[in-house]
Homo-oligomer: A and B are copies of this chain.
Amino acid sequence: MATIYQVSEAAGVSLATVSRVMNGNARVSERTRKKVEDAMALLGYQPNAIAQSLASNRTNSVGLLVSELHGSYFGDLMSTVENVLKQNGKHVIITAGHVDEKREHEAIEFLKSRRCDALILHAEAVSDEYLKQLVDSSTPVAVINRKVDELNDNCFVVDNEQGGYLATQAAINAGHKHIAYISGPLFKKDASDRLSGHKRALEEAGITFEETSMFEGDYHESAGQEGMLHLQKHYPNFTALVCANDEMASGAMTAAREAGFDIPEQLSIVGFDNVLFSRYLYPKLTTINNPIHAMGEMAAYWVLQHVYNIKSPIPIEHLFVPEVVNRDTLGNL
C-alpha cells in the first residue's frame, strides 16, 4: 500500500505538497497538482485515514449509538443519519447499547476512543448525570428521543405526552368510552409521558382513568399478547385498546384474533411509532407517527453545522410533533 512518501517521490515534490493537493485547502499550482495527481493514480494511492486522523485530530466520523441494530425503528434511524452524513463526506460508526447501562456506557466510551468528531445517541439506560457530563466534555453530543433538563440544545425529541393524548383522543372521537391501555416500561420517560397523555385525553373527555384498564409491558411484541390476556380478565368490555408502541399493538392483535375478536368491528386498536411493519400488519395499523426519520435527520444536520461548519439546509428544531396515522384498526362505535 503506497504511502504519501512514495507519492511525493514519484511526483518529485515534498510530502507537504502532496498533503496539500489531497486536502485541497492550500494553494498549489496547476502544474504541481497535476504531477501529484498523476503520481497518485499511478501508484493507486489511498490515504491512510488513521494517520490522517491522528495528525489532524479530525476523524470525519460521527458515532451513532442505537439500542439495537435490528428492528424498523432503529433501521430507519440509522439509514437517515447515515444518508445525511455520507452526503457530506462524513462517516458513521454505529454501535448498539442494548438498553443496558453498562453496555451503553461501553459503547459510548468506544466511540470516544475512536475519536469520533461528534456523537449521536439514542441512549436509554445511562443516567442523565452521565449525559450531562458527556456534553460538558469536548465531544459534541446530540441526544435523540430523550429529553434531559439543561440539555435542551442537544436533545431532539418527539412530544410523547401529546402523542399519547392524540392516540386516546382518536379513540374517543370514534365514540369509544372504555379504552384499555398497554403501556411501555414506566421507568422510561417516553413510556410515562405517553401514559400521561392518555390520561389527559380521558380526563378531558370526562372519563375517569381506572388502574385496571392498564397493563405495563416492556415494548416487546409478547407484552402485547400478555397485556391483551390480562386486560380481558381484569377490565372486560373495553372496545378500544391503545398501545404504547406498534410492536405491542401487533402482539395484542394476534392475541385478540386468537380470542375471536374481529378488528376493528369488535375491538379497535391504536399503536404508536408508525414503524415500517405497521403497514404490513393486517388490518393495517392505525397509529401515531413518531418522526424518528425527521429527528435523525435533524440531529445529523445539527452535527454538520456545529462540528463541521456546514450550514444546515433546514432550520434546527428540537421538538417534534406526533400525528395520527389513520389506517384500518380504529373503528367507529
Residues of A within 8 A of B (CB): 1, 46-51, 53-54, 59, 68-72, 74-76, 78-79, 82, 91-96, 109-110, 112-115, 138, 221, 250, 257, 276-277, 280-282
Q: Are A49 and B82 in contact (CB under 8 A)?
A: no
| Cα of A221 to Cα of B276 in the assembled complex, Å | 12
Q: Are A46 and B113 in contact (CB under 8 A)?
A: yes
Q: Are A51 and B54 in contact (CB under 8 A)?
A: yes
User: Contact partner of A282 among B76, B114, B257, CB < 8 A?
Assistant: B257
Q: Are A70 and B78 in contact (CB under 8 A)?
A: yes
| Cα of A78 to Cα of B50 in the assembled complex, Å | 24
Residue of B with least CB distance to A74: B75
| Cα of A95 to Cα of B250 in the assembled complex, Å | 30
| Cα of A59 to Cα of B49 in the assembled complex, Å | 11
The smallest beta-carbon distance between A136 and chain B, in angstroms, is 13
User: Contact partner of A50 among B46, B115, B277, CB < 8 A?
Assistant: B115
User: Which residues does chain B contribute within 8 Å of A59, judged by CB atoms?
Assistant: 50
Q: Are A280 and B250 in contact (CB under 8 A)?
A: yes
Q: Are B109 and A96 in contact (CB under 8 A)?
A: no
Q: Are B70 and A115 in contact (CB under 8 A)?
A: no
The smallest beta-carbon distance between A297 and chain B, in angstroms, is 14
| Cα of A54 to Cα of B55 in the assembled complex, Å | 11
Q: Assembly of this chain: how many copies?
A: 2
Contacts A50-B50, A51-B54, A250-B280 known; A96 to B82 CB distance under 8 Å?
Answer: yes
Contacts A79-B70, A109-B46, A113-B47 known; A1 to B138 CB distance under 8 Å?
Answer: yes
| Cα of A92 to Cα of B93 in the assembled complex, Å | 8
The smallest beta-carbon distance between A310 and chain B, in angstroms, is 19
User: Which residues does chain B contribute within 8 Å of A82, judged by CB atoms?
Assistant: 69, 95-96
The smallest beta-carbon distance between A92 and chain B, in angstroms, is 8
Q: Are B79 and A75 in contact (CB under 8 A)?
A: no
User: Contact partner of A75 among B54, B69, B114, B221, CB < 8 A?
Assistant: B69
User: Which residues does chain B contribute within 8 Å of A281, judged by CB atoms?
Assistant: 280, 282
Q: Are A79 and B68 in contact (CB under 8 A)?
A: yes
The smallest beta-carbon distance between A112 and chain B, in angstroms, is 7
| Cα of A32 to Cα of B54 in the assembled complex, Å | 29
Q: Pick 24 A–B contacts, CB within 8 A, sort by A.
A: A46-B112, A48-B54, A48-B113, A48-B115, A49-B114, A50-B53, A50-B54, A50-B59, A50-B115, A68-B75, A68-B79, A69-B79, A69-B82, A70-B72, A70-B76, A70-B276, A71-B75, A74-B75, A91-B95, A221-B280, A257-B282, A277-B280, A280-B281, A281-B282
User: Which residues does chain B contribute within 8 Å of A115, judged by CB atoms?
Assistant: 48-50
User: Which residues does chain B contribute within 8 Å of A109, judged by CB atoms?
Assistant: 46
Q: Are A78 and B69 in contact (CB under 8 A)?
A: yes
The smallest beta-carbon distance between A140 and chain B, in angstroms, is 15
| Cα of A284 to Cα of B138 in the assembled complex, Å | 50
| Cα of A71 to Cα of B72 in the assembled complex, Å | 6
Q: Are A114 and B70 in contact (CB under 8 A)?
A: no
User: Which residues does chain B contribute within 8 Å of A50, judged by CB atoms?
Assistant: 50, 53-54, 59, 114-115
User: Which residues does chain B contribute within 8 Å of A250, judged by CB atoms?
Assistant: 280
| Cα of A241 to Cα of B23 in the assembled complex, Å | 56
